[in-house]
Amino acid sequence: MASQYFFKISWLIQLCVGISLFSVSFLIEKRVLEAFITTSWLALLLAISLELGKAVSIIWHRYMSFQPATGYPFSVKLSSNLFRIGLVALSMVCSLLYLSNNLDRPNLKPVKQEAINQNKVRLNEKLKRIDRQKQERLELFKKNQDEEYQRLKNSFSERIKLLQKALRKEMNNVINGTFKGPRYAEIQSRLKTEKRHADKTLKELLRNNKQAFIVEQKSVLIEFQQKQEKAYEKADKNQAQIQTNDFANDERANDSRIVSFLKVLKSIFGLSIFPLQFVFIFSMLISLLMEIGILLAFNTITLSILPALQASHEADLNEDILKNKAKQEAKKDEIHHKQAMNKIRNTAENVMEKADEYMNVHHLKN
């Protein structure tokens, strides 16, 4: 009694497992087909047809394998095997595509966006540094000009002060009320000349400095514009590298659990596996287990009820045969009945014709 419950419960569990795996395989295949077929209802119809075809072909192949060779021809068996293998392979490919798409570098977009943002930040910092260097270069040039101007101005100021001092000394050169400054006129002339020379020299220096600053400014602008262009070229090159970079071995782009697991494998067993390799192996394992589970579940279920199926099938066949025989016998009886009725009808018609002929002959004699 306990074994009876065990087999019933096991059969139900096996059925649930098969249906669950079948449903998951169907949903995965539907999602993948929707990615390739833009018409959603067409993708759904194709997924339903293929998955149902796979399940039914597994059941009927297992059932027909126990039939006599005449009942399961080799050509049909070969077609069935190819059909099932193709459907299983398709389901495995769909599972690989779906799982790989979900496990392969889930953080790729934010990591790539972060790299793009960092590239922009570096470009902005480089441009700011170039602009700051340009300003410092011009300010230093202007500062040197101002210092040169101030030195020259101070030099003239010192000389003018000395002449003014000498001039005041000559002005105070009075003895007993008599002016004794014979060099006054000479010093005064030198002072005026020095002032005119200082004014002219300083104005000329200012003019030359202004022109020199304009030339330097143009030179600096050209030089630092080239530096800016190089900075933009480098940023564009980095941008292109970021766009083409797959970040396959970047821990930030891959799932943290996969990265941790691979580190454990490497530390314990010394195995160096890349994240993409692990994703492929894991996806292949899951898809294989799903398809093998579906095959095992439906094959086991079919084998467990095979005697009942055979008995039911044979009973149905016998019943159909008996019905066909009965129909054939009924058709034969109907044909015989029709033939007998036609014979009777023909006999009656002959009798009636002979009676009419007799009556006509008798009428003519009278």
What's the pLDDT tens digit per position in 79-138? 777 877 887 888 888 888 888 777 778 777 888 888 889 989 998 999 899 898 888 888
Average of per-residue pLDDT values in the chain: 78
Identify which has the larger pLDDT, 287 or 307: 287
29 by Cβ neighbours in 10 Å (0-12 / 13-18 / 19+) ranks as: buried
CB of 246 closer than 8 Å to CB of 221: no
Q: Reply yes or no on whether the pLDDT at 181 is more than 60.
A: no
Percent of the chain with pLDDT over 90: 2
Q: What would the mean pLDDT of 267-274 be, rounded to a whole number?
A: 82
Phi/psi region, residue 3 (left: phi>0; alpha: psi -120 to 50; beta: rest), is alpha
For residue 186, the SS3 value is helix
Point out the least confidently predicted range of 78-87, 105-114, 146-155, 217-226: 78-87
Query: Which residues share a beta bridge with 175?
Result: 178
Q: Reply yes or no on whether the pLDDT at 308 is more than 70.
A: no
User: Per the structure block, which two tokens stand in for 143?
Assistant: 């500062």
Identify which has the larger pLDDT, 74 or 223: 223
Confidence at 324, pLDDT banded by 50, 70, 90: confident
* Helix boundaries (H) for 245-305: 256-269, 275-304
Confidence at 359, pLDDT banded by 50, 70, 90: low
Q: Given this model, what pLDDT does residue 69 score?
A: 56
Q: Given this model, what pLDDT does residue 306 score?
A: 60
In the chain, % helix, strand, coil (3-state, to 5) comes to 90, 0, 10
Q: Given this model, what pLDDT does residue 124 score?
A: 92
Q: Greatest CA separation found in the chain?
A: 218
